[in-house]
A and B are shown apart, each in its own frame.
Chain A
Amino acid sequence: MTLLLAICVAVIFGVSIYLMLSRELKAVAMGVFLFSHAAHMSILSMSRSPIIATGIKTPPILVGHGEQLANRPPVDPLPQALILTSIVISFAVMAFLLTLLVLTQRRAGTLEVDLLAKEQLP
Chain B
Amino acid sequence: MNPDLIILFIVIPMATGLTTLALRGHVVLQRIVGTTSLVANLLLALACLVYSYKTDTILVTQMGDWPAPFGISIVFDALSGMVLVAGAMVSLACYIHSFSTLEPDVERGFFHPLWHLVMFGIQLSFITGDLFNLFVAFEIMLMASYALLTLGATRKQMTQSYKYVMLNLLASGIFVLCAGLIYGMTGTLNYADLARIVAQARLVDGSPLPVGFNAVAVLLLLVFGCKAAIFPLWFWLPDTYYTCSVSIAALFSGMLTKVGVYAIARLYPMIFAADLVTDPLGSGQSFVQASDGVLAGGVTQNLLLIAAAFTMFLGVLGAVSMHNIRRILAIHVISQVGYMIFGIALLTHGGVRGCMIYMVQHMVVKSSLFLCCGVVEKHRKTDDLDKLGGMVKKTPWLATLFFVAAMSLVGLPPLSGFFGKYVVIKEGFLTGYWWLAVFALMTGLLTLLSMLKIFCYCFWYPSAEAEPATVIATAPRPRVASAYVGIILLVASALFIGFGAEVVNGYADRAADIATNPRHYVTAVLGEEAWLHIENADTTEIAHSTEVTP
Q: Determine which of A20, A52, A89, A108 lies in contact with B158 in the assembled complex, contact meaning CB atoms within 8 Å.
A: A108
The answer, yes or no, to whether A93 is at the interface (CB within 8 Å) is yes
- Per-residue CB proximity of B313-339 to A under 8 Å, as 1/0? 000000000011001000000000000
Q: Determine which of B139, B158, B177, B183 lies in contact with A39 in the assembled complex, contact meaning CB atoms within 8 Å.
A: B177
Q: Determine which of B139, B174, B188 lies in contact with A56 in the assembled complex, contact meaning CB atoms within 8 Å.
A: B188
The answer, yes or no, to whether B239 is at the interface (CB within 8 Å) is yes
Query: A46 vs B156: C-alpha distance in the bound complex, in angstroms?
Result: 44
Query: A82 vs B161: C-alpha distance in the bound complex, in angstroms?
Result: 29
Query: A36 vs B159: C-alpha distance in the bound complex, in angstroms?
Result: 24
The answer, yes or no, to whether A103 is at the interface (CB within 8 Å) is yes
B180/A107 in contact, CB under 8 A: no
Q: Report if A52-B159 is in contact (Cβ < 8 Å); known contacts: A79-B180, A82-B180, A96-B147.
A: no
Which of B163-171, B356-364, B400-408, B435-443 touches A?
A: B163-171
Query: Hey, which chain B residues are within 8 Å of A121, CB to CB?
Result: 156, 160, 239, 242-243, 327
The residue on B at minimum CB distance from A60 is B70
Q: Report if A107-B155 is in contact (Cβ < 8 Å); known contacts: A46-B181, A79-B180.
A: yes
The answer, yes or no, to whether A15 is at the interface (CB within 8 Å) is no
The answer, yes or no, to whether B61 is at the interface (CB within 8 Å) is no
Q: Determine which of B136, B150, B165, B174 lies in contact with A89 in the assembled complex, contact meaning CB atoms within 8 Å.
A: B136
The answer, yes or no, to whether A119 is at the interface (CB within 8 Å) is yes
Q: Report if A100-B177 is in contact (Cβ < 8 Å); known contacts: A52-B201, A108-B155.
A: no
Query: Hey, which chain B residues are within 8 Å of A36, CB to CB?
Result: 169, 172-173, 176
Query: Hey, which chain B residues are within 8 Å of A60, CB to CB?
Result: 69-70
The answer, yes or no, to whether B291 is at the interface (CB within 8 Å) is no
Query: Hey, which chain B residues are within 8 Å of A56, CB to CB?
Result: 69, 187-188
B166/A103 in contact, CB under 8 A: no
- Per-residue CB proximity of A94-122 to B under 8 Å, as 1/0? 00110011011001100000001001011
A116/B185 in contact, CB under 8 A: no
Query: A82 vs B139: C-alpha distance in the bound complex, in angstroms?
Result: 14
Q: Report if A82-B186 is in contact (Cβ < 8 Å); known contacts: A36-B173, A107-B153, A116-B162.
A: no
Q: Determine which of B165, B188, B207 lies in contact with A97 in the assembled complex, contact meaning CB atoms within 8 Å.
A: B165
Query: Hey, which chain A residues are within 8 Å of B136, CB to CB?
Result: 85, 89
B158/A103 in contact, CB under 8 A: yes
A104/B158 in contact, CB under 8 A: yes
Query: Hey, which chain B residues are within 8 Å of A104, CB to CB?
Result: 158-159, 162
B187/A43 in contact, CB under 8 A: no
Query: A43 vs B176: C-alpha distance in the bound complex, in angstroms?
Result: 8
The answer, yes or no, to whether B209 is at the interface (CB within 8 Å) is yes
B183/A79 in contact, CB under 8 A: yes
Give the bracket for the number of chain B residues in contact with chain A.
35 or more
The residue on A at minimum CB distance from B159 is A119
Min Cβ gap B277→A in Å is 20
Query: Hey, which chain A residues are within 8 Å of B243, CB to CB?
Result: 121
Q: Determine which of B159, B180, B242 lies in contact with A42 in the assembled complex, contact meaning CB atoms within 8 Å.
A: B180
Q: Determine which of B150, B185, B384 lies in contact with A122 in the assembled complex, contact meaning CB atoms within 8 Å.
A: B384
Query: A119 vs B242: C-alpha distance in the bound complex, in angstroms?
Result: 13
A54/B159 in contact, CB under 8 A: no
The residue on B at minimum CB distance from A115 is B159
Query: A103 vs B151: C-alpha distance in the bound complex, in angstroms?
Result: 12
Min Cβ gap B385→A in Å is 10
Query: A4 vs B143: C-alpha distance in the bound complex, in angstroms?
Result: 34
A54/B173 in contact, CB under 8 A: no
B132/A46 in contact, CB under 8 A: no
A103/B150 in contact, CB under 8 A: yes
A46/B180 in contact, CB under 8 A: yes
A39/B166 in contact, CB under 8 A: no
The answer, yes or no, to whether B179 is at the interface (CB within 8 Å) is yes
- Per-residue CB proximity of A17-29 to B under 8 Å, as 1/0? 0001000010011
**A residues 49-83 with Cβ under 8 Å of B?**
49-54, 56, 60, 78-79, 82
- Per-residue CB proximity of B198-215 to A under 8 Å, as 1/0? 001100000111100000
B188/A89 in contact, CB under 8 A: no
Q: Report if A50-B183 is in contact (Cβ < 8 Å); known contacts: A60-B70, A100-B161.
A: yes
A28/B176 in contact, CB under 8 A: no
Query: Hey, which chain A residues are within 8 Å of B197, CB to CB?
Result: 52, 54
Query: Hey, which chain A residues are within 8 Å of B173, CB to CB?
Result: 32, 35-36, 38-39
B179/A96 in contact, CB under 8 A: no
**B residues 193-234 with Cβ under 8 Å of A?**
197, 200-201, 207-210
Q: Report if A35-B170 is in contact (Cβ < 8 Å); known contacts: A104-B159, A107-B154.
A: yes
The residue on B at minimum CB distance from A101 is B162
The answer, yes or no, to whether B146 is at the interface (CB within 8 Å) is yes
Min Cβ gap B194→A in Å is 10
Query: A46 vs B161: C-alpha distance in the bound complex, in angstroms?
Result: 35
The answer, yes or no, to whether B184 is at the interface (CB within 8 Å) is yes
A43/B180 in contact, CB under 8 A: yes
Q: Determine which of A50, A100, A108 lies in contact with B165 in the assembled complex, contact meaning CB atoms within 8 Å.
A: A100
Query: Hey, which chain B residues are within 8 Å of A46, CB to CB?
Result: 180-181, 183-184
The residue on B at minimum CB distance from A81 is B132
Q: Determine which of A29, A52, A96, A101 lies in contact with B146 in the assembled complex, contact meaning CB atoms within 8 Å.
A: A96
What are 29 contact pairs spanning A and B, CB under 8 A? A32-B166, A35-B170, A39-B177, A43-B176, A43-B184, A46-B181, A50-B184, A50-B188, A52-B209, A53-B187, A54-B187, A54-B200, A54-B207, A56-B187, A85-B136, A86-B135, A89-B172, A100-B158, A100-B161, A100-B165, A101-B162, A103-B150, A107-B158, A108-B155, A119-B155, A119-B159, A121-B243, A121-B327, A122-B384
The 3 closest A-B pairs by CB, nearest first: A43-B180, A50-B187, A46-B184
Query: Which residues of A line the B interface, CB within 8 A?
Result: 20, 25, 28-29, 32, 35-36, 38-40, 42-43, 45-46, 48-54, 56, 60, 78-79, 82, 85-86, 89-90, 92-93, 96-97, 100-101, 103-104, 107-108, 116, 119, 121-122
Query: Which residues of B line the A interface, CB within 8 A?
Result: 69-70, 132, 135-136, 139, 143, 146-147, 150, 153-156, 158-162, 165-166, 169-170, 172-174, 176-177, 179-181, 183-188, 197, 200-201, 207-210, 239, 242-243, 323-324, 327, 384
